[in-house]
Amino acid sequence: MARLKGKNKIRDLLSGYSFMAPTIIILGCFLLLPIGYAIYLSFHKVNLLGTVSYKFTGTANFERMVDDPRLWIALRNTVKYALIVVPAQTILSLVLASILNMKLRYRNFFRVAFYLPTVTSSAVLVLIFMWIYNSNGLLNYILESFGLPTYNWLGDPSVALLGIMIMNIWSTAPLFMVIYLAALQDIPENLYEAADIDGANGWQKFWRITVPQLKPVTFYVVVMGIIGTFQLFDQSYIFSAGSGGPNNATLTMVLLIYQYAFKSMDMGYASALAFLLAVVIMLITLIQRLIFKEERLN
Amino acid sequence: MKQRLSTMLVLMLALVMVVSACGNNSKNGESASPSSSASNGASQSPAKEPVEVTLAGWGSSPEEQALLQQVLDEFQAKNPDVKVKYEVIADQYMDVIKTRLIGNEAPDLFYLDAFEAPALIEKDVLEPLDGYVTPEFDIDDFEAPTINAFKSGDGKLYGLPKDTSTLALFYNKKMFADAGITAPPTTWDELMSVSEKLTKKNGKKVEVYGLGQAPELARQMFMIKAFGGQLSDEQGMATFATPEAEKGLSLVIDQHTKANTAGQPSDVGAGWGGEMFGQQKAAMVIEGNWAIPYIQTNFKDVDFGTAEVPTVNGEKGTMAFTVAYVMNKNSKKKEAAWKLLSYLTGKEGMKTWTSKGFALPTRKSVSAELGYDKDALRGALVAGSSYATPWQAGSTLPTIMNNFNNQFVAAYTGGSSLTDALKKGQETANKEIKAAQ
C-alpha cells in the first residue's frame, strides 16, 4: 500500500510539474534568469563594447553609489515626485469615482471621457503636453489671462518636474478611479441606509462609511502608485530628450539607470542601481503593509 | 491508469520536441550567417550576386535624404556588384549604434560625430582605414583638422570626414535696418550693444531677443578658450572651473540674466536657434551651415545674412563640427564597404553630396571647385574653419558635457552663480570619470 502511495505521489508530482513546465520555463527564461543575471552583473565591472570582459569587483559598484551625486539627485527627485503624485492621484481618483458613482445624468459619457487619458499612449501624451507647456503654449496663455505668472515649463529647472507631475496625476488618476468605482459599488447599501436613519449627512457618510470600506483598495492603489512613480521613465525621458535636464531636474532613478547602461555602457553599475531601486521599492511596500495592518487591528 | 501514463508521456514528449525545436532554430540561425558571408566572398570574385552593404545615419531633412539617395544611386550604377542598404536611426543615435555594436548587429558603415570618435576608437570597435587608402584616393586633399579628429593617439586613421560646419553669426537684415544698424557686429562688445537695440519688450516680457543663445557646451566651448581656459586636461579630467573659463562664459550668462537682451529658444517657445531665428523671435543667432537650408525652406520671408562670429578678447573664435563615415571592425563585407566609403568621401561623391549646400565639403579640391568661400551666406562659415575649436576633447567628453550642461543651465536660469555652477559641474564630472575608470 505504502509503496503504491509513494508511486502515486511521484506521478502526481510529475504530471503537475509537466503541466506547469511551459510557465516555469517562460518565467525562468524571461524573469528569474534576468534578475539573477542582473544581480551577478552588479558585482562586476562589465565591458561590453569592444573586448567583452567581466571583472569581479566585489561591492565596488555599491560603494560607488555613496559618492555619486547624480544618484542622490535622482533619488531626491523620485521621492519628491512620489510624495506629491501618489496622494494627489489617490485623492483625485477617489473624488472622481465618488462623483461618478452618484446618480448623475450622462454618467456613462463622463466615465468614458475621464478614462480616455489612461488609454492614450504616454509618449503621445508627453508630446501633447510639451506643446501645452511651450512658452507660448496653452498653459501659459491661460495663466496669463488670469493674471498669474508664466513659466518656461520645459527650460526652467524649478518647474520642469512639476510639469511632469501635473501630467502624470491627470493621466493616472482615471485608472485608479475605475478601481475605486468598482469598489464603491461593492459597499452594501444598507450601511448608508442605517446612517440615514441615524441622521448622518453626506459628508459624514463619505468619511465614516465610504473611506473605511475602501481601505483595502486604497492600499492597493497607493502601493501601485508608489511602484509606478518610482519607475517613472518615459515621461522624463521624452521631456528632456534623455538627458534628465534642465539641471538634472527631471532625472529619475530609472532614467539614471538607463543613462549608465546605454550611454556610458556601464552595465555593472547600472545593474547595481537597479538592484538598489528594487530594494527601495520593496522596503516602502513593506512599511506600507505594516501601517495598513496596524490600523486594521485598531 | 496505463492510458493516463501514456498520455502524460506523449505530452512530455511534445514539450521536449517543442523545446528542442527552438534550440535547433537558433542553431540554424547561427549557421546561416557563415554561409551567407561565404556567398559574399564568392560574389567578390567574378560571380554575380551583389554584396549588400548597410549604411546607417541619423535622420535629416527630406531634401538631404534625397540628395544622399542620389549619391548612393550613382554609386550603385557604377558598382553593380555592391548593393547599398541605407538605414535611418531616428532617435538616440549613439545609444542605438553602441548597443548594435555590442550585439554584433551594427551596420557596415555609419556616421560618427567627431565628439564621440575618441571613445569608440579607444574601445577598438572601428576598422583602421590606413591599409585601404590608395594614392588615387588622395588623402592629403582633406582639411587637416577635419581628418585629424578621427585619428587615434598613435596616428591610425579610423574615419573619413564626410562634411563639416563651423558656426557663424546669422542676422536678420530687416531688423538691423529698422534699428538703424548698418553692419553686423565684429566684436563681442558691439554684439552686446547691438543686441540691446534689437531687443523688443512688451512690458516686462521680451518678445524679440537681440541674440538667441544655446546654453550648452557644444556651442560654448570656444568661449572657455577665449580667455585662456581649458575644458579638460591630458588625462581627460574636467578643468573648466577656472577664472579664465568663467570670464568667457560669463559673457553668455550675463547677457541673459543681467542685460536680458539674449535668450534661449525655449524662452520664446522655439525648439532650437534656427527656429527661433526663423520665427523672428531673435534678431541674431550663432548657428551652423545646417540652419541655412532650414531657414530658406521653412521661413522664406526672412531676409538674413551671415558674418563671422564676433571676436572675444580680440581673438576670433568659433566651433567646428565634423561628421565622418566609419567602418565597423566586425563587418564581414569590408572590401565592398570600403568601395562605398571611398566613393562617398571621394572627390566625385563628395561633390554631389555637398553640391546643394546642405553640408560643407572637407576636401580642399571640392571646396575650391564649388566656391563656397565666396558664397554670400557660406563664406563666413568657411572662413571660420581656420581658427575654429573642433568639437572634440578625448573619450571623457560625453560625461563632461552632460555635467557641464546641467550646471550651466542652472547658472543660465539664475538658479546658482556661475562660479558655483562650474565648480559643481567639474567636481561631479571628475567623480564620475574616476569612478568609471
More confident position, A102 or B132: B132
User: Are B398 and A264 in contact (CB < 8 Å)?
Assistant: yes
Domain assignment of residue B325, yes or no: yes
ipTM of model over 0.85: no
Q: Residue A47: helix, strand or coil by DSSP? A: strand
More confident position, A296 or B324: B324
Q: At what angle do helices A69-101 and A107-119 cross, to 10 degrees?
A: 160
Pair (B154, B174) in one structural domain:
no
- Mean pLDDT of the region A208-213: 88
Domain assignment of residue B30, yes or no: no
pLDDT at A83: 93
Pair (B176, B149) in one structural domain:
no
Q: Residue A46: helix, strand or coil by DSSP? A: strand
**Which residues in A have their CB inside 8 Å of a CB on B?**
11, 14-15, 18, 21-22, 25, 48-51, 64, 67-70, 134-137, 152, 154-158, 242-248, 262-266, 269
Which of B354, B372, B389 is the last residue in one of the domains? B389
Q: Which residues in chain A are contacts of B407 at CB distance < 8 A? A: 247
Q: Which residues in chain A are contacts of B125 at CB distance < 8 A? A: 49-50
What's the CATH number where B260 sits? 3.40.190.10
Residue B30 has pLDDT above 80, yes or no: no
Domain assignment of residue B385, yes or no: yes
Pair (B95, B118) in one structural domain:
yes
User: What are all long-range contacts of B68-75, with beta carbons under 8 Å and residues at least 24 apart?
Assistant: B68/B353, B70/B352, B71/B343, B71/B344, B71/B349, B71/B352, B71/B353, B74/B349, B74/B352, B75/B340, B75/B343, B75/B344, B75/B349
Which among B176, B139, B135, B180 is positioned nearest to B160, based on CA atoms? B139
Which of the residues B213, B328, B406 would you substitute to probe the A interface, choosing the one with the greatest number of A C-beta atoms within 10 Å?
Answer: B406
Q: What pLDDT digit, counting tens, does each position of B388-423 carry?
A: 888 998 888 988 998 899 889 889 988 889 999 999
Pair (B337, B284) in one structural domain:
no
- Domain containing residue B228: 167-320+394-436
As a whole number of angstroms, the distance between CA A126 and CA A130 comes to 6
Give B102→chain A minimum CA distance, Å. Answer: 5
User: Are B410 and A157 in contact (CB < 8 Å)?
Assistant: yes
Phi, psi of A139 (to 5 degrees): -60, -45
Q: How many domains does chain B have?
A: 2
Which of B358, B373, B389 is the last residue in one of the domains? B389
Nearest CB partner across the interface for B406, out of A152, A156, A247: A247
Domains identified in chain A and CATH numbers: 2-61 (no CATH), 67-297 (1.10.3720.10)
Pair (B77, B176) in one structural domain:
no
Domain assignment of residue B35, yes or no: no
Pair (B132, B157) in one structural domain:
yes
Q: Which residues in chain B are contacts of A48 at CB distance < 8 A? A: 102
pLDDT band at A156 (very low <50, low <70, confident <90, very high): confident
Residue B175 has pLDDT above 90, yes or no: yes
pLDDT band at B143 (very low <50, low <70, confident <90, very high): confident
Pair (B281, B365) in one structural domain:
no
Pair (B401, B373) in one structural domain:
no
pLDDT at A8: 86
Residues making up chain B, counted from first to last: 437
As a whole number of angstroms, the distance between CA B254 and CA B80 comes to 59
Pair (B331, B430) in one structural domain:
no
Residue B331 has pLDDT above 80, yes or no: yes
Identity of the residue numbered B358: F
Q: What pLDDT digit, counting tens, does each position of B262-301 carry?
A: 999 988 888 899 999 999 999 999 999 999 989 998 999 9
Q: What pLDDT digit, counting tens, does each position of A219-253 carry?
A: 889 989 998 999 899 888 888 888 887 888 889 99
- State the pairing for strand pair B319-327/B159-172: antiparallel
pLDDT band at B435 (very low <50, low <70, confident <90, very high): confident
Pair (B77, B144) in one structural domain:
yes
Domain assignment of residue B150, yes or no: yes
pLDDT at B325: 94
pLDDT at B283: 94
- In 3-state terms chain A splits into helix, strand, coil percentages (rounded to 5) of 75, 5, 20
Domain assignment of residue B10, yes or no: no
Domain assignment of residue B267, yes or no: yes
pLDDT at B12: 56
- Mean pLDDT of the region B99-109: 91
Omega within 30 of 0 (cis) for the link into B215: no
Residue A186 has pLDDT above 90, yes or no: no
Helix (H) or strand (E) holding A246: none
Q: What percent of chain A has pLDDT over 70?
A: 97
Domain assignment of residue B353, yes or no: yes
Pair (B220, B308) in one structural domain:
yes
Pair (B275, B381) in one structural domain:
no
Nearest CB partner across the interface for B266, out of A155, A242, A263: A155
